Structure 1
Amino acid sequence: MNTLGYKQLNHYKIMWLFVNFDLPVVAPEERGAATRFRNFLLEDGFTMHQYSVYIRHCPSKQVARQHVKRIRLAVPARGHVSILQVTDLQYSEIINIWGSRPKALKTAPKQLELF
């Protein structure tokens, strides 16, 4: 198999997991459960993409399935958790926009004089 064919094949086997969740945090025990779930995701190799969205690269579908099994066991009793699985090829089309254009100050701040 040529190198190009190998790369194309891998783009479909390599997976990314997106874990999205909305967990209640009103009561202290709910906050604790949400914190434990976030810490579990971090310890399991996920990276925080947004506050309630964590992502992880998996080298194969089999590895992705193992992480999904672990997540199922770690989900708090209350709340909503969704897991989105995308191939590496699909993930390569992601568009991230961080921040916005800097806004000019309306007026320059006044210089502070100490003496």
Structure 2
Amino acid sequence: MTRREHKANSGTTHLSGYQLMWMLVTFDLPVETKRQRAAASKFRLALLDLGFEMSQLSNYLRFCNGKEQFEAYVRKIEAQLPESGDVYIFQFTDRQYENIVRFSDQGRRAQKKNPTQMVLF
């Protein structure tokens, strides 16, 4: 059954875990001067304002409902880039997110459950 047939039959759209995406923004920004520290803080706050969640000090995560939304956030991040430093943006599917291996305090932790997503259209 195609997605269009599924939508016609059920009245809702089924979103695949392979189409839903996560963004990981990781960065290494200089913080040697007061101006650089201010720019790094401003960039972190901009990510939070865009709905990202801090995973670690220089790693921020956000859920996206597809490639178009991912690209829109890339453009928003680009508009907030500080003058210097490195910023990397990774994308991975919701299914790949489920398989992340996590260690904490020298022990393997249970896989995180993906947040429940609502379809509102």
TM above 0.5: yes
Aligned equivalents of 2:43 and 2:58: distance in 1?
A: 11
Moved over 3 A (4+): none
Aligned equivalents of 2:87 and 2:21: distance in 1?
A: 19
Map 1:61-100 to 2 at 5 A: 61-100=67-106
CA-based RMSD: 1.9
| More helix by percentage | 1
Alignment equivalent of 1:42, drawn from 44, 48, 51: 48
Q: Which has the higher contact order (CA 8 A, sep 6+)?
A: 1
1:47-84 CA deviation, whole Å, 9 max, x = no partner? 11111010101112111111111001111010000000
Distance apart, 1:30 and its partner CA:
0.2
Aligned equivalents of 1:99 and 1:68: distance in 2?
A: 33
Specify the SS of the correspondent of 1:64: helix
Q: Which sections of structure 1, spanning at least 5 residues, go unmatched?
A: 102-115
Distance apart, 1:26 and its partner CA:
0.4
Specify the SS of the correspondent of 2:103: coil
Tell me whether 1:25 sits opposite 2:65 in the alignment: no
Aligned equivalents of 2:59 and 2:79: distance in 1?
A: 18
Q: Which sections of structure 2, spanning at least 5 residues, go unmatched?
A: 1-5, 108-121
Alignment equivalent of 1:60, drawn from 54, 66, 73: 66
